[in-house]
Amino acid sequence: MSTEPSAERGPWSLALRRFLRNRLAVAFLGLFGLIVVFVLAAPLWANHVADTGPNEEHTVEQITVDGEQKDVVSVEGKPIGPQWFGAGGKFFLGADSRLGRDEMVRLMYGGRTSLLIGISAALFATLLAIVLGLLSGYFGGWVDSLIARTLDVIWSLPVFLIGLAVGIALAVGGLKIGSLELSSGSLWNPILIISIFTVPYIARPIRGEVLSLSEKEFVEAAIAQGASPGRVMFTEILPNLASTVIVFFTLMIANSMLFEAGLSFLGAGVQPPNSSWGTMITVGVDLLRIQPLLAILPGLMIMLTVLSLNIVGDALRDALDPRGKARMDAALQFEAQAGAGGGAAI
């Protein structure tokens, strides 16, 4: 007699099964994995194939392509185009600018920077959002009002413009608050900006869910047994937020990468000579007519990464909670009602 599989499998196993059934999501997860491998292989390619670092300039150098000497940058300032394997892998995608840096190497290192910022900013934003969402949703009252209104204020701001202004200020002067000191070129500057300004996008849905979960029987039971608020929040409610957090975290990586690309494109994110896909688009735009690949390639990498993360994020939501969308809508509606009530109370 065969046993009913669903009866033996836990919720995570079921979710994995549901996720694997979504072929498109699996394909894009594979693509995201390939992108990660691609950027992690940057030092290998740089040291063993291209024989150059991401910021090394070769403006007046020549390379041998199929036995022929070629300028990396012509006298008229035109960077060499893709050489594929013609020069043994050197300048595989050509030179990035009139500075004659290897585009392939910078694309790989730039991807590391973009992903690092995307993941770090999403991680910080998510952690902060969890804490704020739990406090706000669980305690209610003035704590909720204070947090919710602060999030409302951030949400109502033209986030990108303010991020741009703060980014430019930090890019010039760095940041010094007490013992915390960030230099002007530090990657922590865009990470901080992005995480702070994107917190409301996760914190508000989490708050809604916490408001909803706080009224469940298992929470009331824990309180009745004398569990402290911290214990209730972190051992009873938080595990039930896992699916929401995982989904939002995945989507926030994509959003943070786009935010970083925008900031860097406008000079307020990653600072030169370091590369990110955003800064590479800026450099490429200047040479769009003569070497269009220089702008297209980093743009394509951003698009593929963001697309894969969004598709995987959506699939995770469907897999972790098949009724997630309906629940998420309900949570948002509940949160909105509670928010309106709080406002009236004030």
Site residues (vs another protein, CB under 8 A): 55-57, 59-60, 73-78, 97-99, 168, 171-173, 183-185, 267, 271-273, 286-290
Task: Give me the least distance between CB of 178 and another protein, in Å please.
Answer: 18
Buried b (16+ CB within 10 A) or exposed e, 73-90: beeeeebbbebeebbebb
Min. distance of Cβ 305 from another protein in angstroms?
26
**Which is nearest to 254 in space by CA: 170, 323, 316?**
316
Q: Which is nearer to another protein, 177 or 346 (CB)?
A: 177
**Which is closer to another protein, CB of 77 or CB of 343?**
77
State both tokens at 175.
């940041």
The nearest distance, CB 78 to another protein, in angstroms, is: 6
Under 8 Å between Cβ of 148 and 336 = no
Distances (CA, A) of 63 to 69, 76, 174: 6, 17, 39
CB of 109 to another protein, least distance (A): 15
User: Which of 169, 330 has the CB closer to another protein?
Assistant: 169
The enclosing H or E element of 338 equals helix 324-345
CB of 217 to another protein, least distance (A): 58
Identity of the residue, 37 or 75, whose beta carbon is nearer to another protein in the bound complex: 75
* Consecutive H or E run containing 47: none
Smallest gap from Cβ 44 to another protein, in A, equals 23
What token pair was written down for 15? 């979710």
Of 144, 159, 258, 263, which Cα lies nearest the Cα of 201?
Answer: 159
Strands, E assignment, 50-185:
62-65, 68-71, 175-177, 180-182
Collect all residues with Cβ–Cβ distance below 8 Å to 32 and sequence separation of at least 6. 305, 308, 309, 312
For another protein, give the closer residue by CB, 280 or 320: 280
In the numeric block, the tokens 């109502």 are attached to: 156
Q: Which is nearer to another protein, 32 or 265 (CB)?
A: 265
Q: Are 206 and 133 in contact (CB under 8 A)?
A: yes
In the bound state with another protein, the residue whose beta carbon lies nearer, of 183 and 337, is 183
CB of 273 to another protein, least distance (A): 5
- Closest by Cα among 44, 8, 12, 26 to 239: 12
In angstroms, how far apart are the furthest CA atoms of the chain? 82
CB of 153 to another protein, least distance (A): 28
Residue closer to another protein (CB basis): 5 or 173: 173
